[in-house]
Amino acid sequence: MEQYREVLMLLRTAGLKSTAPRRALLAALMRAARPLSIANVLKELGRASVDTVTAYRALRAFEKAGLVRRVDLGHRHAHYELVGAQGDRHHVVCLSCGTTEPFEGCDAAHLVKEALAQVRGFRTVTGHSLALYGLCNTCAVVNK
């Protein structure tokens, strides 16, 4: 149990209770290092089975605490990924097979400035989401 301390630390720092399901969920996200759907998180747990409802509630709590980030990949369900040391992280999504790959640097500050100059009803922007869609190299070949 090497991850144990790391995961526990994360929860402590975020001011969240450390429970077995939460530790398992966080550990799974940590191992994955890419956005996982709730269903996938549960699948990645292995022996430590966690109720679906608990996963929904825990991930929402994590999100509110800033531990994880909800990313929208254009599928019709949420994906979550750990918020790491890295800055803004976004994804390229394959429209054919769903594969994703992360990239960084979207110049959010500039984007927000630009947007706020155009809209009248907003002055506060606290977050953003971005995804690029295309074909991964494998699917690009298959689809000729």
Partner DNA sequence: GTGAATGCAAAAACTTTGCATACGC
Partner DNA sequence: GCGTATGCAAAGTTTTTGCATTCAC
Which of a second copy, DNA, none lies near 54, with the C-beta cut-off 5 to 8 A by kind?
A: DNA
Which of a second copy, DNA, none lies near 74, with the C-beta cut-off 5 to 8 A by kind?
A: a second copy
**Phi/psi at 135 (nearest 5 deg)?**
-125, 130
59 or 136, CB closer to DNA? 59
12 or 64, CB closer to a second copy? 64
Which of DNA, a second copy, none lies near 40, with the C-beta cut-off 5 to 8 A by kind?
A: none
74 or 84, CB closer to DNA? 74
CB of 108 to a second copy, least distance (A): 9
d(CA 118, CA 112): 10
8 or 131, CB closer to a second copy? 131
d(CA 95, CA 67): 28
Question: Can you give the binding site for DNA, defined by CB under 7 A?
Answer: 11, 16-22, 37-39, 50-54, 56-58, 60-61, 75-78
Tokens for 66?
């800033």
Residue showing tokens 């500039």: 110
CB of 97 to DNA, least distance (A): 15
Tokens for 121?
């009803």
d(CA 93, CA 97): 9
- Residue 103, Cβ neighbours under 10 Å: how many? 12
